[in-house]
Structure 1
């Protein structure tokens, strides 16, 4: 990449990194004890490629940071209901066996910030089903696990 391009993008990169650090240290919490998907033998970076291929993007800088989180990806979805604007959100955590994914669907935070923060219309079940579809399509082996995400590296 030419030095002029690097220099031109430097202020934006500094802003993004500052936002990331702000998020990581001021809006951090433990993962909730919910149903999740265990992908054995694959690291979060490898799964990032799978989710990028399925149309997901890296998660917003404005989202909460969960301790140990190494993957944060989203995809906008439309539902024919009173809200219409939703997102499919998946977070990933390294563990001894591979990666634990915490997927869910929820109201899109930019359209419904208060309702999003109150977890209205959040569905772990739908998130797990969408994750299963993506992993099946990519021929990735996984196991759906009910209960807390345990044994996560807190990095």
Structure 2
């Protein structure tokens, strides 16, 4: 029998900087994160949890060329889209609105529509030729829903 290959040792952990922690706290406490995912607030995390989230944010920022503020703006835009998907696909029964789509399904539809629409437009999020507000998010959803069967 062949010997099992040895695993490479993990690199040493580097504590997140104060800037990493500040960015992580701002993202965790941002309205889109708290409202869309039902996550806990920054102050509710223990010290280890805060360091863990700050390290994740730091590593994600290394991989991304998108600044943290823009990530929060994109997240807000996606939340507007997801909420509009849920509203537009809901049904009324005896005057009560019944959602036919879960929040997870709505966010999945929002992400797919967002990616496809940006591909069709050929521009990145935040391009100055377009508005990137709640109305634009609703327009993306409305355009997508035109292609759905009734």
Does TM, normalized by the shorter one, top 0.5?
no
Higher relative contact order (CA 8 A, sep 6+): 1
- Which of the pair has more CA radius of gyration? 2
TM-score norm. by structure 1 comes to 0.28
TM-score norm. by structure 2 comes to 0.29
Higher strand fraction (1 or 2): 1
Higher helix fraction (1 or 2): 2
